[in-house]
Amino acid sequence: MTLSRKWNAEADTILTNGKIYTVSLTIEEIKKGKKDFPILENGAIAIKDGKIIAVTDMGEINSYKGKDTAIIDLKGQTVIPGLIDCHMHAFFTGINLMNIDLSNTTSLKDLQNLLKDRVSISKPGEWINGQCWNNSNWEDSTFPTRKDLDNLSKDNPVFFMRVCYHVAVVNSKALELAGITKDTKDPEGGVIGRDEFGEPNGLLYENAALGLVQSVIPPFTSDQLVDSISAIGEELSANGVTGVIDANLTMEQMRTYYKAYKMGKLKYRSRIMYYLDTAVGSCKEHLKRLDEAATITGFGDDMLKLNAVKITLDGTPSSKTACMRRPYKLDPTTCGFTTVTEEELKEMVVKAHSLGWQVGIHAVGDKTADVALAGFKAANKISSIKERRHYLIHHPWPSKDQLEIMKELNIGVTVQPTMLHLLNEAPVLYDDMAQNNIPCKTYFENGIVTGGSSDAPVVPFNPFLGMWAAVNRKDLNKDLWGAHERITPIEALIMWTKNSAFFSHEEHIRGSIDVGNLADIVVVDRDFIKGPKEDILNTKVKLTLLNGEVIYKDEI
């Protein structure tokens, strides 16, 4: 079998002797349930000018060899398209490389030890930032407060973001610098945690409250940020990720991206989302910001391109800030809340849609998804939204009626299966929600385009961990949640390739190993599609090509 088209060209590079999973499918085929695509048992790929010019059996490939063609013998190893994480925060994950990683703490004591170490090497007054503590995974899951930090760090202000990115704990020095006292009122859309005497206890909930402290933390310099983009690029390519949709960027952060690109430091295809931060200003101001942005979705090139406007419409279940149709299991007094009203959201979506933007909405609660879909329907009244591909981010509990609207209006969803493994949310959820959480199978069966992603730095972006979690659905205790929602390794691969390319309107140029596509190709050390499902997790990247150039290489 051959997928080559005679181009009469001498290749720059030829990959030989690979087991090639092409993922050569169209989105329409995937929607209709087709999952089989050509797999070349002993195949070769020819590349010229950054593009794939042949995908063929070994016998055919000789006609593409010229005297300057570089030949890479893959020795039978497995080849997949460059992986795409369609919802992560690459920019912030890069910045986090400069902060303390708290994700592996299993107790408050662990967190305190890391803080102690950092204080000992910090200058007086220097801010100490960290992220990804998760008290749900601690021996004692009580939330930490400023009192747990104060003795260790009196002079250095501390800002530790929780894994959900909707809650942080800070010390008294940080509260003092931010001017937060007993008399400070909760900002609209946020909550300042307080002790029994009404004193701030160091916990802050949602962007509006987090922002009170974040606004006094000195920003990184532009050069530091460029370096962090370069650093995250190295980590991505070592994990086989050649493209991301990078969410929640300000215009200034987008300019930094452009600077990194121009300096040759951008080593992954970034589709950047402009953040319409609902915590900053009123609805009127959000609309004004859209009007003033001199750009829209699609602006850019193959390396750096504008994706959607991002609107964060609610929070997470563990912080009771996701807006649910029914009250919380552990607190029947609340259903959570949305960050803006349905009417405000409609105005924002309609405006963005009218200007030519795609819109991606963070919706975790099922009630929030109702509000988001109402916004998309309002836009659809102005002009058809089907081609624009507005989408939902997360949406872990779709109801039947919501699935129908999504299908009808071509609204895809970006999901993060690694959260099933690492976030340990089951204790705060009703049992049916814990079992149906992130229902990849249901999404596939309903013809909804389901993109594979991580939401890193919330959880690690390793796509093999994500695919493993979607296939196995096991938490940290190895307990299985929702056996009926497990998908096959092939479906998981489709999620991180072709389906993810859908969200940036690029399934015709990437997400598969097809003639004419950008030569983003990954070679791994095992056939994780055919091998034991538990073993997907252990997959290691041997070689990553971006635009036909080797950007990561382990020994083959």
- Residues in contact with Zn ion by CB under 5 A are 455
Q: Which is nearer to Zn ion, 370 or 455 (CB)?
A: 455
Q: Is 468 exposed, middle or buried (0-12, 13-18, 19+ CB in 10 A)?
A: buried
Which CB, 88 or 405, lies closer to Zn ion? 88
Provide, rounded to whole angstroms, the least separation between the CB of residue 87 and Zn ion. 6
- Which residues are CB-neighbours of 514 under 8 A, at least 6 positions away? 3, 22, 24, 52, 55
Nearer Cβ to Zn ion, position 48 or 390?
A: 390
Rounded to a whole number of angstroms, the minimum distance from the CB of residue 120 to Zn ion is 33
Which of 86/209 has CB closer to Zn ion? 86
Residue with tokens 């091998």: 531
User: Do the Cβ atoms of 420 and 2 come closer than 8 Å?
Assistant: no
Closest approach of Zn ion to the CB of residue 456, in Å: 9
548 and 47 Cβ atoms separated by less than 8 Å = yes
The strands making up 450-452's β-sheet, listed across from edge to edge, are: 83-88, 241-249, 269-275, 304-312, 359-363, 391-394, 412-415, 450-452
3-state secondary structure of 118: helix
CB of residue 183 to Zn ion, shortest distance in Å: 33
Tell me the sheet residues that pair with 39.
Answer: 21
Contact in structure between 159 and 214 (CB atoms under 8 Å): yes
Q: Which of these, 352, 350, 343, lies nearest to 307 by C-alpha position?
A: 352
Residues 518 and 85: their CA atoms lie apart, in Å, by 17
Q: How far is CA 481 from the centre of its chain?
A: 22
Distance (Å, whole) CA 552 – CA 343: 48
Q: How far is the CB of 217 from Zn ion (least distance, A)?
A: 20
Min CB(99)–Zn ion separation in Å: 17
At position 36, the amino acid (one-letter code) is: D
Spatial distance between the Cα atoms of 503 and 526, rounded to a whole number of angstroms = 28
Of 144 and 417, which has the nearer Cβ to Zn ion? 417
Nearer to Zn ion, 270 or 517 (CB): 270
CB of 7 to Zn ion, least distance (A): 41
The distance of Cα 383 from the centroid of its chain, to the nearest Å, equals 29
Q: Which residue, 85 or 455, has its beta carbon nearer to Zn ion?
A: 455
Name the residue nearer to Zn ion (CB basis): 416 or 472. Answer: 416
CA atoms within 13 A on the CB side of 428: 19
Closer Cβ to Zn ion, 43 or 243, answer by number:
243
Residue nearest Zn ion, CB atom distance? 455
To the nearest whole angstrom, how small is the minimum distance from the Cβ of residue 89 to Zn ion?
Answer: 6
Q: How far is the CB of 305 from Zn ion (least distance, A)?
A: 19
Listed residue (424, 417, 330, 478) closest to 138, CA to CA: 424
Q: Please report, as a single letter, which amino acid is at residue 462.
A: N
